Structure 1
Amino acid sequence: MNTVLHKADTRGDANHGWLQSKHSFSFANYHNPERMNFGVLRVLNDDVVAAGRGFGTHAHQNMEIISIPMEGDLEHKDSMGNVAVIKSGDIQVLSAGKGMTHSEYNRNLEKEVEFLQIWVLPKVKNVAPRYDQIALNVQDRNNQLQQVLSPSPEDDGVWVHQDAWFTMTNLSEGKELTYQLNHPEKNGVYVFVLKGNATINKQPLNKRDGFGVWDVTELDIKADSDAELLLMEVPMNE
């Protein structure tokens, strides 16, 4: 078993006034050569957008971009003509492919928006850009594993152009689960603790800690308090 531990307080910190962001991996002005990625997981940003503010129109290319709102609503507009609002309980994926533009905006003038922005390198390039968004049944992750992303449009959750699986779970204190890797021969899992405390393969973790594990077939998960986790299984080689 190989592991990497990223404690919450070691993440990159960017405060733009309207945007406060914590970077688990190198991003924008935060550059750490030892924290460039976890396999094809390239970006994990923990973002807070101020009331009435947002990201203006900007371009992306050849990246799978996943947004998971934690609190509040975020409006999305893109060059494909999509206009949508994502909120807590939703998951959004944008396959940038051969190129597209979009904007994200907090229309609420009183409340911040908190969301995770995740970038995964695709296994194929220059595909037609694609947008998808679904509302998840959050109850389906209570003390069990809920798949929210996969490589297949026939599977649960949204899908991406990569052999990746994302899973979420809300655990009661003392609950234990086992996560079986879909492709243990080539994939690893990066666990991000959204709330609470948990132990993964004997490693204690706290809120917003990140823990990468590879060369294993499964993860043993125990909630040391009520806890919420995001598990991102991704290929370790680009």
Structure 2
Amino acid sequence: MEPQLFKAADRGIFGNDKFRIQSVLSNRRPGTGRPDNFGRLIVFNDDIVSPGGFLGMHPHQNIEVITILLEGSEYQEDDLGTKTELLTDHVQLISSGSGIMHSSGNPSGASNARNLQIWFEPRVRDTKPEVQLKAIDLREKTDRWHLQISPDGAHGSLIIKQDAWLSKGRFSTGTSPS
């Protein structure tokens, strides 16, 4: 697959007074001029959630939903009984499988929360839903990649039901990631 450049100026921006979504892909909205997908990757958003912004219970089915918290905190809850506060550098993977109800929001009354939302179609459909969380403090672990998500759980990564690998890193100025 050939590399593609998606410039920030080409992102779709939509939302409301509580959520600002900057999308690289079309999010299945026709006529955006952005691609519908990149292989099995169907959503890649940079989201900003205003203080007190909350998205009530809503369904997900047969989607691998990755949330990477970049700033602030978010509270997330689902019908499996999972209740989680995501903090900066946390990574959450919801394998929605046969179906899950989920809600999320910014519990802060003063600061925005910012996350990356990355969605993949799963390799196998209608599996048992599950939620996984990985917390790693990258402030102490700079200048190298840290595997966060993989199909086999290598190096303690979260297990995604797709052939996808996701690594995170923090690099000092002038350092070249390898």
TM-score (norm 1): 0.70
Alpha-carbon separation, structure 1, partners of 2:146 and 2:128: 28
- Are 1:160 and 2:160 counterparts? yes
Matches within 5 A, 1:20-169: 20-27=20-27, 29=29, 31-32=31-32, 34-139=34-139, 141-169=141-169
Residues 4 and 72 of structure 1, relative CA distance in 2, 3 Å threshold: same
Deviation of 1:30 after TM superposition, in Å, equals 6.6
Deviation of 1:33 after TM superposition, in Å, equals 5.6
Alpha-carbon separation, structure 2, partners of 1:126 and 1:15: 30
Deviates more, 1:17-26 or 1:152-161: 152-161
Deviates more, 1:13-22 or 1:123-132: 13-22
Q: Which has the higher strand share?
A: 1
Residues 177 and 72 of structure 1, relative CA distance in 2, 3 Å threshold: closer
Alpha-carbon separation, structure 2, partners of 1:98 and 1:132: 16
Residues 141 and 44 of structure 1, relative CA distance in 2, 3 Å threshold: farther
* Larger Rg belongs to: 1
Deviation of 1:156 after TM superposition, in Å, equals 2.7
Residues 140 and 41 of structure 1, relative CA distance in 2, 3 Å threshold: farther
2:28, 2:36 within 8 Å by CA — same for their partners in 1? no
2:58, 2:103 within 8 Å by CA — same for their partners in 1? yes
- Runs of 4 or more, structure 1, over 4 Å off, are 28-31
Residues 30 and 143 of structure 1, relative CA distance in 2, 3 Å threshold: farther
SS in 2 for 1:9: helix
Deviation of 1:17 after TM superposition, in Å, equals 1.1
Alpha-carbon separation, structure 1, partners of 2:84 and 2:99: 19
Number of aligned residues = 178
CA RMSD of aligned residues (A): 1.8
Residues 30 and 88 of structure 1, relative CA distance in 2, 3 Å threshold: farther
Q: Runs of 5+ in structure 1 lacking a partner?
A: 179-238
TM-score (norm 2): 0.92
Alpha-carbon separation, structure 1, partners of 2:11 and 2:30: 9
Q: For residue 135 of structure 1, what is the amino acid of its counterpart?
A: A
Q: Deviations 1:184-218 (Å, cap 9, x if unpaired)?
A: xxxxxxxxxxxxxxxxxxxxxxxxxxxxxxxxxxx
Deviation of 1:140 after TM superposition, in Å, equals 6.2
Deviation of 1:138 after TM superposition, in Å, equals 0.8
Deviation of 1:143 after TM superposition, in Å, equals 1.1
2:69, 2:90 within 8 Å by CA — same for their partners in 1? yes
Deviation of 1:108 after TM superposition, in Å, equals 1.1
Deviates more, 1:41-50 or 1:146-155: 146-155
Deviation of 1:2 after TM superposition, in Å, equals 2.0
Q: For residue 148 of structure 1, what is the amino acid of its counterpart?
A: Q
Q: Deviations 1:213-235 (Å, cap 9, x if unpaired)?
A: xxxxxxxxxxxxxxxxxxxxxxx
Q: Deviations 1:161-181 (Å, cap 9, x if unpaired)?
A: 011110112222322233xxx
Q: 1:18 maps to which residue?
A: 18
